[in-house]
Amino acid sequence: MSERPRIRVGRIPYVNCYPVYGAVDRGIVPLDATVVDGVPTTLNRLMGEGGLDVSVVSAVEYARDADRYLLLPDLAISCDGPVRSVMLFANRPAPELGGHRVLVSRSSMTSVRLLDLLFRHVWHARPRFVPGDAEMSDVARFGDEEHDARLVIGDAALVLAEGNTGLAYPYAYDLGLVWKQWTGLPFVFAVWVAQRVTPVADALAVHAGLISSRNWGVDHLDVLAGQAATATGVSPATCLTYLSGLDYRLSYHHLAGLTEFFGRLVVAGQVPRSTLAFLPAA
């Protein structure tokens, strides 16, 4: 009899995922699964193609195809104020960027959709969004592309904000903070989902492992900040401030922010109207 294939679990290799996977990586919490790394758009695509069983995905990926997925309870990447790793860097004030060239990340649908909402409803400007060619890890190339502003996500945003790259922008906007000022709600950037066809027992086992790992990670942010500093070159203090400002739960308050975001995308015609569906409890 052939062995049952191991469940495939997606992981974003950014610092912001360290608290969820740190104990798994260290063997402190067992996870009987094959872990697959990828930037958000890669994991979104793999989930959409059925190439992963459980994964962290952009919030917009869930909204785009909610009938395909089940949300894993109490697990997300969110902020209730500054996020620090989703930033608009600009050469002029955001309200003055109408008609101007704004480079956007190819790596995160959620950040681009959020930026579009903020331009429409907060800054009342309609810039030209252009996909950036430089990879997020290649900060040194950011100055090579003609632009008036650039959306930067993940570790690259931390590196650029640290100011050690030789690139300087007179204006910087933290999208998590602007959303909070606009709506009064937290913003959920990423969620964990399972395919609806994934065996419930397998998905529940992964969920339990990730929750245990998340709990360890939240209790050891100083350890993870040191790891993040080594990986990015950003100071340990900045990494600790960053990780401490993120929330890895999915409470009622976070769900209010998530549904507010989804509702605005529905009105804009960018995602279908749907409801939130969760993995059932054991």
Decide if pLDDT at 165 tops 80.
no
**Mean confidence (pLDDT) of the chain:** 92
Rounded distance between C-alpha atoms, residue 1 and residue 5, angstroms: 12
CA distance 135 to 113: 19
Helical (H) or strand (E) element with 21: helix 18-25
Cβ atoms of 119 and 51 within 8 Å: the answer is no
* Mean pLDDT along residues 21-45: 95
Largest CA distance in the chain: 66
pLDDT per residue over 67-98, tens digit each? 999 999 999 999 999 999 999 999 999 999 99
The model's pLDDT over 111-121, given as tens digits with 9 standing for 90+, comes to 999 999 999 99
- Integer Cα distance of 26 and 154 in angstroms: 22
Instruction: Check whether 166 has a pLDDT greater than 90.
Output: no
When pLDDT is cut at 50, 70 and 90, the band that residue 134 belongs to is very low
DSSP string, 125-179: ---EEEE--S-TT-GGGGGGS--SEEEEETHHHHHHHHT-SS---SEEEEHHHHH
pLDDT at 105: 82
Per-residue confidence band for 255, with pLDDT thresholds at 50, 70 and 90: very high
* Confidence tier at 164 by pLDDT (50, 70, 90): low
- pLDDT higher than threshold 90 for residue 183: yes
Task: Cite the beta strand spans of the chain per DSSP E.
Answer: 7-11, 33-37, 54-58, 69-79, 86-90, 101-104, 128-131, 149-153, 171-174, 187-195, 246-247
CB 228 within 8 A of CB 15: yes
> What domains appear along the chain, each with residue ranges and CATH number?
7-78+187-267 (3.40.190.10), 86-183 (3.40.190.10)
pLDDT for 144? 54
